[in-house]
Amino acid sequence: MIPSAANRSIIRFKKTVIQVKRRRWTARTPAQLVKRPVTQSSPTNQKAPSLADAVYEALLSRIVTGVYPENSKLPTEAELAEDLGASRPTVRAAIARLRESGLVASRRGSGSFVLKRPDDSFLQFAPIESIADIQRSYEYRIMLEGEAAYFAAERAGVEHLDKMSIELKRMDDAIETGDMGTGEDYRFHLAICEAADNHFFVSSFQALTEVSLQAMDISRNLSSRSKQARRVIVQEEHHRIFNAIRARDMDAARMRMQEHIRNARRRIFEGPLS
């Protein structure tokens, strides 16, 4: 739990980011963004971010807004730990999460570097304070939906396969007509959770409805602004998931779903995949 003073500092930081929106923060240094140390304390608010989450969100926000530009070297772990008032292991864990998302690369003996930041248009579709939650939702969905697809391949009935097929066809049509197809995308993933025949998969997925729809909408809006081939690639991933489930290949279904969600995360935060 973060004490109130540090929590207020983070809130001020977020408000500043929202105010500048898509402008790069050339006038501010990292030390100015988080002025007070972030420390742990006894919990008083269940919704307050943990120390690890606060550090991760601060670093992610700085990358997204251009405080740390592409190809720039991040400050050392020791410098970030002092800047954010956190321990070096906590900073190291936050950098590892950024590395998993494809935003940062670490080179032995040289430090960590920003590989890529989202296009400026990204900020038109998501307020800066929601970006970390979108990242966290992808981390959770990789696990949740991967297992849902695994069991769907074993348990899906004809009615489940028909429902998936219908949503796939609607997404195919959306590509042809230029529609976003966000609702169809969501219902396809929901149908897979339903096919797993375990209500915990469904309730867990539905608990993520708001952030999942936001992420899907962002991804599809950004896709519509780039090459049409990008949307085709996304749809091919959906078809591979469906084909594995229909073939009753449980391991392949899990692998295809996890691959799809990892790619979706990279498409938003890293850019088009080669």
Would you say the CATH fold of 122-269 matches that of 4-117? no
pLDDT > 60? residue 160? yes
Write phi, then psi, for 193 (nearest 5 degrees).
-65, -40
Q: Say yes or no to pLDDT of 30 above 60.
A: no
| 121-186-115 Cα angle (round to 5) | 35
Per-residue pLDDT at 122: 54
Task: Identify the pLDDT of residue 119.
Answer: 57
Entry pTM = 0.61
pLDDT digits (tens, 9 = 90+) for 181-204: 888 999 999 999 999 999 999 999
- Could you name the CATH architecture of 122-269? Up-down Bundle (1.20)
**pLDDT digit string, tens, across residues 85-122:** 999 999 999 999 888 777 899 988 889 999 877 655 55
Q: For residue 170, what pLDDT is reported? A: 95
CA 69 to chain centre: 19
Helix (H) or strand (E) holding 104: strand 104-107
Nearest to 273 by CA among 244, 237, 245: 237
Compare 215 and 206 and report the one with higher pLDDT.
206
Residue 163 has pLDDT above 80, yes or no: yes
Rounded Cα gap, residues 112 and 63, in angstroms: 12
Q: Which pLDDT does position 204 carry in this prediction?
A: 92
The CATH number of domain 4-117, selected from 3.30.930.10, 1.10.10.10, 1.10.357.10, 1.10.10.60: 1.10.10.10
Whether 229 shows a pLDDT value over 60: the answer reads: yes
Assign 35 a pLDDT band (cuts: 50, 70, 90). Answer: very low
Identify the weakest region by mean pLDDT among 109-118, 127-136, 263-272.
127-136
CB burial of residue 39 (10 Å; 0-12, 13-18, 19+): middle
In the prediction, which pLDDT does 26 show? 34
Listed by start position, the domains of the chain span 4-117, 122-269
Rank 17-26, 33-42, 254-263 by mean pLDDT and report only the highest.
254-263
Mean pLDDT for all residues in the chain: 78
